[in-house]
Structure formats: C-alpha cells, structure tokens
Structure 1
Amino acid sequence: MSQEQAFIPSIPITPSSFAGATISFLSNPNPNPNDPFLSPAKRKRSTGARRKASSSSLKNHHNPFLLPPLFPNPNPNHSPNPNPNPNPNPSPLSLDISEEIIVLNREPTAEAVTALTAGFPADSLTDEELEAAVVSSPGGIEQVNYILIRNHILCRWRENTSNWLPIDPFIAAVPAHCHPLLHSAYQFLLSHGYINFGVTPSIKERIPAEPTKPNVVVIGAGLAGLAAARQLLAFGFKVVILEGRKRAGGRVYTKKMEGSNRSAAADLGGSVLTGTLGNPLGIVARQLHCALHKVRDKCPLYKPDGLPVRVDVDSKVENAFNRLLDNASRLRQLMGDVSIDVSLGAALETFREVYGDAVTAEEISLFNWHLANLEYANAGLLSKLSLAFWDQDDPYDMGGDHCFLPGGNGRLVQALAENLPILYEKTVNTIRYGSEGVQVVAGSQVYEGDMALCTVPLGVLKSGTIKFMPELPQRKLDGIKRLGFGLLNKVAMLFPHVFWGTELDTFGHLSEDPARRGEFFLFYSYATVAGGPLLIALVAGEAAHKFESMPPTDAVTHVLQILRGIYEPQGVDVPDPIQTVCTRWGADPFSLGSYSHVAVGASGDDYDILAEHVGDGRLFFAGEATTRRYPATMHGAFLSGLREAANMSHHFNSRASQIKVERSQSKDSQSCAALLADLFREPDLEFGNFSVIYCHKSSDPKSMAILRVMFGGPRKKSNEGSKADQQHSNKVLFQQLQSHFNQQQQLHVYTLLSKQQALELREVRGGDDMRLNYLCEKLGVKLVGRKGLGSAADSVIALIKAERGSQRNASNSSVLKSGE
C-alpha cells in the first residue's frame, strides 16, 4: 500500500448512494488562485517546511470523512444500474446503458481523494483535459464516467508505482460502451505524466532504442529538465540536454562532506519534500526504495543569551503572529485590488504597531524570528512580497508529512539523470527560434532542433544573460520582471560527533538586531539522514544578501559562537567542525538566487505567463517559476517538466497531422469551415473587423476563445483614436494581407487567446490598426488561416458548438411547452 493510500480509510459506498447527491466540498479543491480573499495559511516552524497550512484547512481538504457522496444521479427518476456488466440481451424496455453511472469499485470517494492529491478537481475536468477533448461534450453522464475511470486508473498506478501499468487490466472492468472513455483517460494520464513515470526498470525499458521523432534541445539539467527529457525520450524524441555546470540537479545539490573518518551528504539547495500525498518526487523515492524521514514537529527556540524561550512566551507570540496574518488577510479583503500594490511587510509592521502584541525585548526578538521564518518560506523580503497574492499557491499545498530523503536529494537527481544525453559545461548564451525550428548557441557551438525547452531559473531570465532571437514577447518580459526571485543561504558543518542530540530535527535562535533576524535563525539536524554528524544553519531575508559578501571564516565563527552559547551552559562541549561549506546562491551565475515569490505588483498569472510557449510552438519554458500551483518547490519544478513534455509532444503531433492533410479541401475541411463560419454568425464579442467566440460555461477569464480578423471588403468605420495614434499603428500587416485581395473579396485569419485578452483587445483605442499592433506586439500572438488553428482550437469549437446546441434545444423545448 502506498503512502497516499495509507491515509485513506475504507468508506463503503453503494450505487444507491449517488441518488440525489450533489457535488460539493467543504474545502474547494480547485479554488481561484487569484482570489485576494483567501485566508492565509499559518506559517509554522515546526515542520521545517517552506509552507504549512493551518490545521483546519488541512482537515477540511484531506479528510475523506468530510466528503459527501461524490457523483450525482443526473436523472432523479432513474436509479443507477448496480451491475457494471449489464445483460447483453436487454429487453426492449431496458434503459439506455449509456445513461448509467458505471461502478468500478465500492470506494469512489477514496479514489477521488487520491485524484485530489494529484491535482485533479473531484467533480470537473482540468483545463488540460478540456483542451485534450477527453470527452465529446463536457458535463453529464459521459464526464462523470470519465472521471470515475480516470480516478480508478490513477489509484491503480499509485498502488504499485514500480511496474508499468498497461491499459489491459481495465478493459474487462469497464463496460464496453465506456471503452472510448477508458482509452481517452488512459492516454491523457500517460501523455501528461500522471502515470508510468519515474526511474524503475519497467519504465526505463519503455524508452525506444531508436528515436522516431525530431531533435529537442533542453537547456538545463535541473529537475524540470531531467523530468522533461525522460518523458520526451519515452515519446520517441531525440533529446540533448545542455547544462552549464559540471553536474546535474541545478538548485538541488547534495555535496559529500568528509574528513577524520566522518562523512555526510549535505543538501545545499532544495532539501525538504514538502508533503508526500501526491508528490511525484515521493513516488520516485519509493521507486528507489528510499524510506523518507518525517521532519519532527518539535523545534525549541533559544534566546540571544543561549537560554531557551519559555513555552508560554513562545505560544503567546506565535498566536499573536498568526493573528496578524489573519488581520492582513482581512485587510486585503477590504482593500480589494489596491492591495496588489501593497507589501505584506508594510501590513504586518502596521498591525504590530497598532496592536502592540510584542512588548518585552524577548517578545520582540521572538516576533522578529517569525518574520525571518516567513522570509525563509518565500525566499524574499517581506517588504517585497505582495499583500494580495504572496500566498496564492497555499490552496494547492501537498498534503502529508514534510520529509528529508536519507542520503540527500542528490539520489533523486542521480537516478533521473542516469543514461540521459547531458552535455556539461555548456553555457547557453543565445536561443534563436522561429517557425522552422530552433538554434541554441553555447560558446562556439550551435545545437539545432525542432523544438527547445528552456528551464533556466528566473534569476537567469531576469539577468538577460541569454539572448532570445527574436526577443521574447513583451507580455512574457513583463511577467519575468514582475515576479520576485529571492535568496536563501546555508552553512553546512560536519562535526566529529553529534553534540546537539538526535531527538530534534530543527531548533531556532533569536537575534537582538532586527536587521539580522534571519542570520542563522534556524538549524537543521541531518544526523539521522545524512550518514554523519551534520548540522546546517539557514540564512534568510536581508541577512542572506549580506551573507554573500561575508568571509566564510567569519560566518563559521559566528555560528560556533551561537552554538556554544546554547550548549556549553548545559555542560556540552562544542567541537570545531571537521569541514564547512557556505553557499552563495546569489552569486552563482547559473541561478542568481534561490527561488521565486509573488512580489508587489505581481500575481499568480505571471507564473502562467512564464509557462507560455513562444515561436509557434517551438520554444517552451519549465521550472519552478512556471507553475502557479507549486512555485518554489522541487516537485513544482519536476511537474513543470512533465507538463512541457506533454505540450511539446502535442505541438509536434499537431504539426505532423497538418503536413499529412492534402492541400485541396476535403469534405471534412469544408464541413469544419462551414461550422466555424456558422459560429461566427453570432459572435460573443464584435469590434471593428474583429470578432470573438467563446464558451460561456467557464467563468475563468483565462479560458480560451477564438478571435477572427477580417481583411478585405469594406472596412468598418471607427472614430477611435487620432491621427497621431494612426501614425504609430501597425498598418504594414494590413497592407500586406490586403494586397492579395480586392475590395470584393474577404480573408479571415484566426488565433487562440484568452477571454481576458479578448476583452483587453476590445478596449484598445485607435481603431483596428492599433488593435492589430497590440495583438501582435503586446500579446505576441500569430494570426493563421483556419487550418493553422490546431487541435486546441478544435476543442474550443466543440465546446462552443455543444453549448449553443444545448441552448437551442432548451429554447425549442420552451417554445413547445408554451404552445401546449
């Protein structure tokens, strides 16, 4: 039984349980990450974790006992058939089995919880699934059955991640009329890296000996690059990875420290697996037969004089600190959009002055310790964190324990990098991309490919050390600028013996100087997992930046003074360390910092913007700063690599399909053209020569829409803008396109964009010329003919067609009823 399954109690549910049930959760499994009214999670020190949700939110989100019956009976007068394999010779009066909710086992709720931990909403489809058109029409029985099948496959994989999970075992269990849904669910989970990923022999042997697809260049051998490369190789692509360092892993670096017959594995970068429920790196660890070590909750704090902080004082200040976070949450609720331009630090300092919770010198130092811990959690100064969105990813925190990996996270890196085509010490300085492919320049060498995946850290993107040709769209440049990229440093010390005891994994130290509150404020004991007496001191916030220029000898001397101040009054001798290492992540040219955060003026949308591909599906981006759900985490980086491997495969397959299509119009293409023309007869938005259609079922402003621009024929008049505006417009593209058509002919070109972008486009002043300039330059989209829209547009068209069909049927039904 897997770790995920071990936390799921047995809840027998019969088919009759579904009758009349409603799909709801006490804790929203798929909240709006941009909602500024979400209450902040409490930042606890006890787990040594980057983030830890409050006990109440964890209880609501992960406790299966709180889940009501999962799926509804869409027809209240129709009881679901409890037999998953109906009579093959039904009577003429039998109900249509396609309208039945299938039964795969007696614990669909438990399987739904496992799906939740993997990032799926329990009662709907993800955007990825909608784009992949996993069902012919969203909503209704078909979607319910798809979700049941999807969750069932996912659970079977989680039960045994050591072996390849084929589709065959499910064919007998799933009714024949649902086999198309079975194939749809299995292929989606497989291609998007939710099943059959990792490093076991049965999975690695699936990589074809001879690639059948073109070259892909992956820039960076961190977790994102390694995850993507493995998937792409399994998909049949030829892959090369360019890594600037002499090692793989990027910001995950385990260094072997040794001397005087002592040795230990020190994680100098990413160190804590933040949650094991659904964590893909937890799965890789299990595949390697690694028993994870739970970071224990106990974390005593010591005052500047070395004496322990009293429990009652500790509890009082921690409660006061959490109240301030709650007050900050209420403040952003009252401020609304204005909170986007306010820092979390300003709010907390204001509330601290108003409420005066910390009065004595000890309480003030303790309060500053909590501020340092919060800066550690976000690798950013509180004065730089967005009040509105600093914790926008909290609803997606992985459940379960926070853990150390014995032997260090380098074991994961080593397993993932094994036998991959990695070229080390290749510093990329230029990336050229276009409709024909990519060229990646490293020194004097040029690597060509059909596509490229850029996984360099946000700090490198901010520095501009890599030149993109053409320049990245302004939208992406703005996102790179808005997001924050902070700093965390460490001092790792190998001692002759464990003088601090083995009953603790963490302990903290308070500073009298508020400006140095993050200096050696938290210690991690790796004695139980590193293979030797290893202790690591953390440096966060402003202190982490000053630490970059502190001589290592001074740093170690200061740490030893703190340790001796704590332990020598207890009669414990603190020896000199055998070996020490001080990190300098800010000065590392291949990272230029530690991990990302939402800075003032930024939002979770910027993570999505960084994830967007450019160059007509030729250049893609992955890494922890490209995932709004799991930023600043190792599993976030890994998942982003799996995500982009799926996206790259999809774009290649779409291009390959288009090449196979004959130039002459077939009946199918004529039918598709007629359908699109029919949908645009009633556009949802229309302005100038621009019209937009979209599905109204989704309230997400990021959901996709189709834009059509008409060239040729009479131009619609517009009084917007001025002559000065027109002089700055992009008329060249209009002229080039219209030169092929006279005034009696029309040309329609299309593109995919979000509803929000369409609304922004409508508000552009200056007429169609200015709108076209905004579309191409600001949004960075490319206008194509109908055939160039691709399969993603096909899914959107299908959704709109289904929605409008349902509306017409409802309207006809209403007319018939009124005529009765």
Structure 2
Amino acid sequence: MAESKAKTSRPSRRIDISEEDLERGVSWNVGFPPDALSEEEEILLPNSVLKRQEAYVSVRNHVLARWRCNVNRYMNKEDAASKIAQKHRDLVHHAWHILDTLGFINFGINMPVNASSSTRDPKETVIVIGAGLAGCAAANQLQRWGYKVVLLEGRNRPGGRVHTARLEGGDCSGVVDLGGSIITGIDGNPLAVLARQLDVPMHGITSRCPLYLEGGKEPEPDVDEMALKQHDALLEECTGYRDSMGDSAQYLSLGTAFGVLRNKRQRLEDPQKDEQLQRMLHWHLANAEFANAACLKALSLSHWDQDDAWEMMGEHVFLPGGNLRLVEGLIAKTPIFYNAVVESVDYSGGSNGPVVVNSTSGTFIADAVVVTVPLGVLKHNVIKFNPTLPEEKRLAIRRLGFGILNKVALLFPHVFWDDTCDTFGFINKIEDPTERGMFYLFYQYSGLGGGAVLAALVAGEAAIKFEDVPADVAVARVMSLLRDIHEPKGITVPDPLQAVCTRWGRDPLSYGSYSSVAVGSTGSEDYDAMAATVSNRLFFAGEATIKKWPATMHGAFLSGLREAAKVAQAFRTTHKTRKTALTKEDPGATLSPSSSEVSSSDTEDSDDSHGGRRQRHKLIGKRSRGAGLRNGGSNGGSNGGSNGGSPSQLSSDEGAVGEEEDLIHRGSGGKADWKDRADPEAGARLAKLVVDLDKLFKSEEPDLEFGIFSVFYVEPNSSASVALRKDESGPSPSDSEQEMEEEAVDLKDLALVKVDLASMRNGPPSCAMHHILSRSQVAELRDVRGGDEARLTLFSSPELGVKILGRQQLDPRLSEVLKLIANTRGLDFNSSTE
C-alpha cells in the first residue's frame, strides 16, 4: 500500500493552546470537521440534536479527545460525561454512540469483549474474506461486540499486502516490510493507536533523503532546489489546467497535462545543469508514481488528488519489528482458516437467507460476509458472486486503477551506508523515461529489525517491467547501483546474504499493490460505490473502498471498522424487523436456539480452525434458521409479502388485493382481528385506496424523484390540519391507547412517498410501499449517501422516526393526503379508509 505522498512543509505547532483547541485538533486529525458535523453525523443524529449542533460538536470533540488520552482503557458513557455540564449530558449519549459504533473510540487491541451500547446478545455469524488490515479490523470489532466471526485467508499467513518478512543468512537476520511500510501521519492515525496499545515505539522517519548520481555524486544544491520548485509549480499549473478544461479534464491524464506544461518551460543554458534538472524532475515524477502506484499517464487529471484534503497530519514512522505486529495483535483471538482461497459467494437466498462461501478449504455459511480482497482480485473476477454484483459496483471496479509498487529487499552482513538517514535515492538517466522509477528510492531497516537490511523501490512503468525481470538479474542491477554510489568513496559493498524480489502484479491474491483514480474514474463516487453494501448482507472493505484515505494502511483499517458498524446496524435492523414480524405471525413462536458456534463435529480439533481441513463449515445464525423467519421479516418486502406478515407497508402495482388472508388486520400480540374479514366494505375501501395510490403515481409526474423513491407534496394552501380518526377495526384502546388517540397533524408539512421495491436489483416483482413522511424526512432520505439500500436502511430505522406498518394497517393519513393531492391536481379519486 502507499507509503506516502509528497508533503509540503508545515509550520511548527504551538504549545500554548487551550484545552478546547486541543480537542478540536484531535477531531480534525481523525477526520472530523472540528466545528461542524461529519457526513455520518448529519445522517444519524436526530433533529433534536441537529438543532443544538454547536453544543453537540463541542461534546463530541471532548469525548473523542478524552479517549485518545488513554487508548488502553474502555471508556463508557459515564466516563465520557464526567466533565460535561449537566445541561449537555444528553448530548454525550449521541456523541458516544456514534463514536463507539463507527470505531473512533474503544477500538483496537485488548478492548473488552461485548462492550458496546447494544443491550441484546448477538447471535449472528459473519465470514470475513481476507486477513489484511481491513479484514482484521472488521473481525476484531465484530468479535468485541459478541458476533461469531471467522476469517478466511487465501495465503498461509495473515496480513495480506502487509507482509513483514524475515531475511536470514549466516549468523545475521533482519525483518523488512515487503508490502505497506510507512505509517503516514501519526496524528489521529488509528495505526498509531494500535502501536500505543501494543507498547511498540514508533521510529520517526528522518526528513533528509540524500539523492545520488553516478559515482556517488550529489546534484548541485541549486539544481536540487530548482527541481523541487519546478515540480511543485507544475502540479499547481496542472490544477489550473484542469479547472480551465472543465468536464473535459476527466478524459485527460495527469501525465498528459504535466508533459504539455513542462514543455513550455524554458531550459537552462548550462547543458550539464539542465540535464541534472531534467533527471531530477523525473525522479520527482517517479516519486509521484510511487505514491499512487500508477503511471502518470494512467492517473485522472480530474480526480487523482481527491483525497488530499484528508491527509493524516504528523510525523511519518516505521514500526520496529514490522507492521505485522499490528495484524497479529488484532487477530490474537480470531479463528482463521489459512490457504482458503475463496472461489464463490452466493447471496441468492434473499435478505433473510444465509450467505454461502465456497473456498478451497470447504464451504462456509453465515448470516453476512465482509469482502476485503484487493481491488485487483475483483478486477480479475477471481470470486464469482451470485447474483452478479450491482452494475454501479462493477463499473467502479472497472474504472478505478490498481497499480504496482515492487521492492527488492537485501540482507547484508553489516551496514555500509549512511544509517543516519532512513531513506536515500538514486537519480536515473532519462534516455528511457520508463526506467525513472527503477530502484529510485531505498529504505534502510538497520535500526528497526535487528539486521542490515535495505529495500529498493521500483515504481511506475518500471514496476510493471520489473515483473518480468529474473530475480538474479534484478539483484545484480541493485548491487551494481549500490557499488556505483558507495565504492568511489572508498566503501566496500559486500554481497548480500539473502535477497527477495516482490511480484505484486503477478500475485493471484492481489494482482497489484494499491488503488488509484484512473482516467475515466469518477473519483470519490467510485470509492463510495466500492463501499456500498449489497442486499444488506454483503459488505466491502479495503483501501479501495474508502475515499478519504485510499491506498493507505490506515485507510484499510478504518474501512474495516466502518463495515463492522454497518454489519452490526444491519443485524440490529433485521432483528427488530423479525421480532415484529414474528410477533404478528405467531405469538407462541420463539427463535430457534443459537447455532452460531461451529457444530461439535467442526470443533473436535481446535487446530483445524487454522488449518482449513474441513469440507463444510456451518456458521449458521438467525438468518438461516426456520422458514418462518425467512418468509416473514424482510425490511423492504423483498419476498413480495406473500405471507402477509411483512412489517413493511406493501401494495400491489396492479392495485389488486390478493389472497383472502391479506385482508386480516394483525393486531398486537399477533392475534388476527376477524372483524375485517367479516366486513367486506373495509376490504373494498382498502382495495380502492391501493388502486388510487397506484393510479396517482402512474398518471401524474411526482414532485420529486430519487432512486426508487417518488414523492408528491401536499400544497402549502391545503387545509392546515386534519384530525386522525381512531381505527375502529384495529386494536382496542387498551392495546395501543396512546398510538390510536386522536391527534392533529399539519398537512402542509407532509408528503406522500412511494418506494418502488420492484425496480431494485433482485427486488420483488410488482411490489411497492406507500407512506406519509414530513418534508424534512424526505430531504433526509434524498441526501443519504450509499444509494437506495442506504435509504431503505434509514427509511426503516428508528432515526427517521417512520413507523413501518403491515399491509392491512395502512396509515390513516394516506386517504386524507391522497384526497388533498388529487384535488389540487384536478383528479377524482374519492378514496377513503373510513
């Protein structure tokens, strides 16, 4: 993964800052606007809190900074509120819940198990595909919340593209990171939190990076400075060029713009200095290609730097002993099946069916799956998904770039280089610009892993060509370069004791190093599409799914925490839905005993949990137990509501009420109210209303449409309010007295909303929901990020405040609102549920 991007100098920090400013700084460093709400908070917070935004933000900043002061303890709500004024204590609950759920506090290593805001004991099971940082973060968090989790890893080791290798030769040994190496910016970086939790000291990388020409000479200081200034100026000019091109810029590459603008610059009169200048410019270009794991000609001019605003601040560091220490700390208690290459994921069972994962180590079944494989694996269609992934996600997979960074790691008997610098570089000749990234930068690990180890980096087009270079030839070229740099100074360069060459592009479990925004990509929109949940049961994490921090180790880790939160939310929503459906279907029914644990035949040999010898592994939770649950509880009626027990408010697009059972009103306690069945007029009125709703949305153009949602607003000049009448055919006052009391509702604030489930991929045919929302709730739904699935989750969640009712318990306001909308449009429906 990306080691770092080019950094600009920053002013030194002031020491004399107030506590409030310090808290604001912590929030900024972890990715929150210090004086405003984040996108997630705008979606999740109730209106009552949104009206107190300034106070809430201050409380959130305090809670976040309070935990960061001591990351080795679990901070509950009482601890978080201990220094908050009484009048703002209620805000602590909201701030703590969001920060805890999204993984900004109480995450990492040695946090208490099942310590969360949830009061229910989770029984669901989760399969995490890939034991890289994203997968390990998701598994660790879900386990902490009490879910049953299994990691499937195709390699024989954990870490994925975090690969710490030990080199040995004679009496010498040392470690080197062959994948992600640098923790970029430790202020607010969650990986720095893990290091603190493990009590691992972090080694700050020295800023000095000497660059060498042939013979060990360094370029003229003025040329060195001029090259850096020209490079930075050209990047600025590329930004202006992009702005001047408008929409056309999306079809141009950064390399094209760079070449056009560079050719306009005047060359130096001194040929020797000009040659040095051009070579150094190419060195900086190679460094840009390294930062993006892509050739400049492949990077989108429009979006290549879309993540710059969220760059982590602070020192860049190496982790002594290698980054695998972080991975091992996260998965110390997680069952892992190694050599389990996933071949297919089947989620065709609907929103309540199990997910079946077939791998080379057998078949696994669970309630949800988190896919954390590299983008390169998805691009090569290594995993077959059934059904096929949504088109938007497939397009994002195709459009985003996934490039290569390779390394040659060498162990020597002793250090012969200047070990006061952590990095040094070599300025290649430019007869062949595609070679500019060949061994252009070296990392030295002599003080980090116990031995004299160097790693030579290969970036850009050179990294692609390197895939075909034999290992002995590659090592010989590196050694020739090292001797050319050091031997003119009288330094003897010994032969390496061991050498390792990476081939990330050919690796069938990665097919590359890390993501970038390629020409034709939509940038942040593609990253959002990569992160989108599929069918509320298939979740995606990894550095290529997080728009703020792509191509970084901390981005991968944070994406894992994000998906853990989404999985838990999906389970909570499903649990509430099923509980409601089960109560309405059968008051005597109970959930089947949890079988989240692996069956006895699967646990006889505990070592097998790491060996992958079994043929079939059932991690079955509530989703795969009992047809009654699967048939009765879909959020959005994905099974078509055929058994009449769905908690969603369903109506047929054909306007017909189907079976006689559909006319039964399910009262509290799951008892059928036979009055509706005996009253044919009630059934007729209900059918008439369904027909009229369908007629309105087919004959008139809605006031607003977004995704699967269509909206008609009540005109402002309509009657100010209406008294909602008690539903005499529903529960008696003693059953639900408070809900059925007469209340006055301001119709001018209302909207009639249709949710067209049939238009969703894999949605039920001829199935829709109709509901009454306020204008502000419609706006909330419209602005939700993540597409229709995210909107449906919000639509059925407590945060929006929508009470989802059964088909025969239609909102009594529907008739009144429909009349007002019809009257203003000159339609004659005359529907009524009275």
Give TM class, smaller chain.
0.7 to 0.9
2:510 alignment counterpart: 591
Give, in whole Å, the separation in 2 of the partners of 1:731 and 1:596. Answer: 27
Indicate yes or no: 2:206 matched with 1:296: yes
> C-alpha deviations, 1:600-659, integer Å up to 9, x for none?
1111210110000001x1000000000000000000000000000001000100111112
Match among 604, 607, 619 for residue 527 of structure 2: 607
> C-alpha deviations, 1:427-458, integer Å up to 9, x for none?
10100113123111113722111110000000
One-letter amino acid matched to 2:800: D
One-letter amino acid matched to 2:770: H
1:502 alignment counterpart: 419
Match among 265, 274, 282 for residue 368 of structure 1: 282
Cα 1:593–1:167, aligned 2, differ >3 Å: closer, same or farther? same
Indicate yes or no: 2:472 matched with 1:553: yes
One-letter amino acid matched to 2:38: T
TM-score, with length taken from structure 1: 0.72
Q: How does 1:645-664 map to 2 (within 5 A)?
A: 645-661=564-580, 662-663=583-584
Give, in whole Å, the separation in 2 of the partners of 1:710 and 1:590. Answer: 39
Match among 368, 380, 392 for residue 463 of structure 1: 380
Cα 1:553–1:156, aligned 2, differ >3 Å: closer, same or farther? same
Indicate yes or no: 2:178 matched with 1:268: yes
Give the 3-state SS of the residue equivalent to 2:76 in structure 1: coil
Q: How does 1:462-481 map to 2 (within 5 A)?
A: 462-481=379-398
Alpha-carbon offset, residue 229 of structure 1? 0.4
Q: How does 1:745-760 map to 2 (within 5 A)?
A: 748=770
Cα 1:519–1:212, aligned 2, differ >3 Å: closer, same or farther? same
Indicate yes or no: 2:685 matched with 1:685: no
Give the 3-state SS of the residue equivalent to 1:274 in structure 2: coil
Residues 320 and 357 in structure 1, CA contact (< 8 A), matched pair in contact too = no
Alpha-carbon offset, residue 126 of structure 1? 1.7
Residues 344 and 384 in structure 2, CA contact (< 8 A), matched pair in contact too = yes
One-letter amino acid matched to 1:572: I
Give, in whole Å, the separation in 2 of the partners of 1:114 and 1:687. Answer: 37
Alpha-carbon offset, residue 145 of structure 1? 2.1
Give, in whole Å, the separation in 1 of the partners of 2:236 and 2:406. Answer: 29
Indicate yes or no: 2:539 matched with 1:539: no
1:159 alignment counterpart: 69
Give, in whole Å, the separation in 1 of the partners of 2:420 and 2:790. Answer: 63
1:440 alignment counterpart: 357
Residues 212 and 219 in structure 2, CA contact (< 8 A), matched pair in contact too = yes
Q: Could you list the runs of 5+ residues in structure 2 that have no partner in the other structure?
A: 585-664, 669-688, 714-750, 805-834
The count of residues paired between Structure 1 and Structure 2 equals: 643
Greater mean deviation of Cα atoms: 629-638 or 432-441: 432-441
1:77 alignment counterpart: none
> C-alpha deviations, 1:285-310, integer Å up to 9, x for none?
01111111111111111113432212
Match among 791, 799, 818 for residue 797 of structure 2: 791
Greater mean deviation of Cα atoms: 256-265 or 223-232: 256-265
Indicate yes or no: 2:328 matched with 1:414: yes
One-letter amino acid matched to 1:579: Q
2:36 alignment counterpart: 124
> C-alpha deviations, 1:653-707, integer Å up to 9, x for none?
011111222546779xxxxxx9xx9xx999751599962489xxxxxxxxxx996
Residues 275 and 398 in structure 1, CA contact (< 8 A), matched pair in contact too = yes
Alpha-carbon offset, residue 366 of structure 1? 1.4
Give the 3-state SS of the residue equivalent to 1:212 in structure 2: coil
Give the 3-state SS of the residue equivalent to 1:120 in structure 2: coil
- Structure number, greater radius of gyration: 2
- State the percentage of identical aligned residues: 44
Q: How does 1:148-187 map to 2 (within 5 A)?
A: 148-187=58-97
Give, in whole Å, the separation in 1 of the partners of 2:60 and 2:130. Answer: 33
Give the 3-state SS of the residue equivalent to 2:226 in structure 1: helix
Give, in whole Å, the separation in 2 of the partners of 1:325 and 1:635. Answer: 26
Indicate yes or no: 2:238 matched with 1:328: yes
1:708 alignment counterpart: 754
Residues 423 and 441 in structure 2, CA contact (< 8 A), matched pair in contact too = yes
TM-score, with length taken from structure 2: 0.71
Match among 202, 227, 231 for residue 317 of structure 1: 227
Q: How does 1:712-751 map to 2 (within 5 A)?
A: 736-737=765-766, 748=770
1:392 alignment counterpart: 306
> C-alpha deviations, 1:306-355, integer Å up to 9, x for none?
32212111111111111111110111111122111110000011111111
Alpha-carbon offset, residue 500 of structure 1? 0.3
Greater mean deviation of Cα atoms: 169-178 or 260-269: 169-178
Residues 379 and 486 in structure 1, CA contact (< 8 A), matched pair in contact too = yes
Residues 781 and 795 in structure 2, CA contact (< 8 A), matched pair in contact too = no
Alpha-carbon offset, residue 754 of structure 1? 11
Indicate yes or no: 2:21 matched with 1:109: yes
Cα 1:275–1:384, aligned 2, differ >3 Å: closer, same or farther? same
Give, in whole Å, the separation in 2 of the partners of 1:688 and 1:218. Answer: 30
Alpha-carbon offset, residue 503 of structure 1? 1.0
Residues 750 and 783 in structure 1, CA contact (< 8 A), matched pair in contact too = no
Cα 1:392–1:532, aligned 2, differ >3 Å: closer, same or farther? same
> C-alpha deviations, 1:566-597, integer Å up to 9, x for none?
11000000000111000011111110000000
Indicate yes or no: 2:192 matched with 1:282: yes
Give, in whole Å, the separation in 2 of the partners of 1:213 and 1:730. Answer: 29
One-letter amino acid matched to 1:379: A
Alpha-carbon offset, residue 186 of structure 1? 1.4
Q: Could you list the runs of 5+ residues in structure 1 that have no partner in the other structure?
A: 1-47, 68-105, 668-673, 695-704, 713-728, 739-745, 760-778, 799-820
Give, in whole Å, the separation in 2 of the partners of 1:584 and 1:483. Answer: 21
Match among 51, 56, 74 for residue 5 of structure 2: 51
Cα 1:731–1:259, aligned 2, differ >3 Å: closer, same or farther? closer
Residues 257 and 579 in structure 1, CA contact (< 8 A), matched pair in contact too = yes
1:574 alignment counterpart: 493
Match among 504, 522, 530 for residue 441 of structure 2: 522
Match among 133, 139, 143 for residue 223 of structure 1: 133
Alpha-carbon offset, residue 178 of structure 1? 3.0
Greater mean deviation of Cα atoms: 391-400 or 359-368: 359-368
Match among 423, 442, 446 for residue 337 of structure 2: 423
One-letter amino acid matched to 1:320: Q
Indicate yes or no: 2:164 matched with 1:254: yes
1:639 alignment counterpart: 558
One-letter amino acid matched to 1:790: S
